[in-house]
Amino acid sequence: MGEGKMPYIYAVLAVLLWGSSAAVAKLLVQNLSSLQVLFFTSMIATISLFLVALWQNKLNLIKKYTVIDYWRFAWLGFIGQLIYYGCLFAALAISPAQEVSIVNYTWLLWVVVFAAPILGEKLGIRKLFAILLGFAGIYIVLTKGAVFSFHISNPVGALLALGGALSAGLYMVLVKKYNYERVTSTMFYFLFTFILVALATILFSQVPQLSFQELAGLVWLGFFTSAAASVLWALALKHGDTAKMSNIMFLTPFMSLVYIHFLLGEAILLSSVAGLLIIVFGIALQLFELKKK
């Protein structure tokens, strides 16, 4: 197989893995608490990324990090892993997976919002319009298309999903600002998250006995969607055209709906697809502006 095709294969595999996250997590939170799922996934992700760093000969970078760096890893992990996944799993426990998945995808819009004050990027008319489209898409999804009813069936789940998207957007901007090496820094983000979650589990919950299906789901989330997908995406960006790889990312939320339908049996509503298309169009407007620059 030609080398020119490999970046596309890496990118598509990453999308296939990322797209499964919401459906698999929804299955897990039916029997496990959000805290328990986060406990196991953060532990597995930490171990997986350690093995990846070992394989890529990047562990020597650890001794170069300072106390300030480790402090940043701690609070970045709190924002980007603990809050994000905590909100995501809690939302999936009480809301339809398709709603949570689509609202969560708006983190790409929130990146633009946070990039303005943190990175000094301008928030122009096109970006503001894209953000408004994102809100419109969210509203259509949460009202199930009954836009004049002004009724959201599960406001708590909607706020949790939106909170996860906000934390992911802020996290991505801060990661760009500090620009640490991807694998080792993400390993520490998950490690500090695991430490905090382990303490919370000891105080407020318990480590459950897992069935084979639950263990398989946790390994899938912790290893495949966290470590493996990140490595595949990094390879895609390294060896392929960034703009073309970014376009493939648009497949992620639609792939997520496919998993949700077949793994969970949820009927995908027309309003969900319509709202998602509006959100994706808003994100595409931003990417088009970045490509022009």
Q: Residue 145: name the closest of 104, 102, 92, 108 by CA.
A: 102
**pLDDT, tens digit (0-9, with 9 covering 90-100), for 7-61:** 888 889 999 999 999 999 999 999 999 999 999 999 999 999 999 899 989 999 9
| Count of structural domains within the chain | 1
- Provide the whole-model pTM: 0.89
CA–chain centroid gap for 218, Å, is: 16
**pLDDT, tens digit (0-9, with 9 covering 90-100), for 106-152:** 988 898 889 889 988 887 888 888 889 889 999 999 999 888 887 88
Q: What is the mean pLDDT of residues 64-73?
A: 96
Contact 218, 41 (CB under 8 A): yes
Question: Dihedral through CA 70, CA 75, CA 78, CA 79, nearest 10?
Answer: -130
Rounded to a whole number of angstroms, the CA Rg of the chain reads 19
Task: Count the neighbouring beta carbons within 10 Å of the beta carbon of residue 177.
Answer: 12
Residue 199: burial class (beta carbons within 10 Å; 0-12, 13-18, 19+): exposed
Strands (E), the chain: none
Does an H or E element contain 47, and which?
A: helix 34-55
- The residue range of the domain holding 37 is 3-292
Q: Is 274 helix (H, G, I), strand (E, B) or coil?
A: helix
Q: How many Å apart are CA 227 and CA 231, to the nearest integer?
A: 6
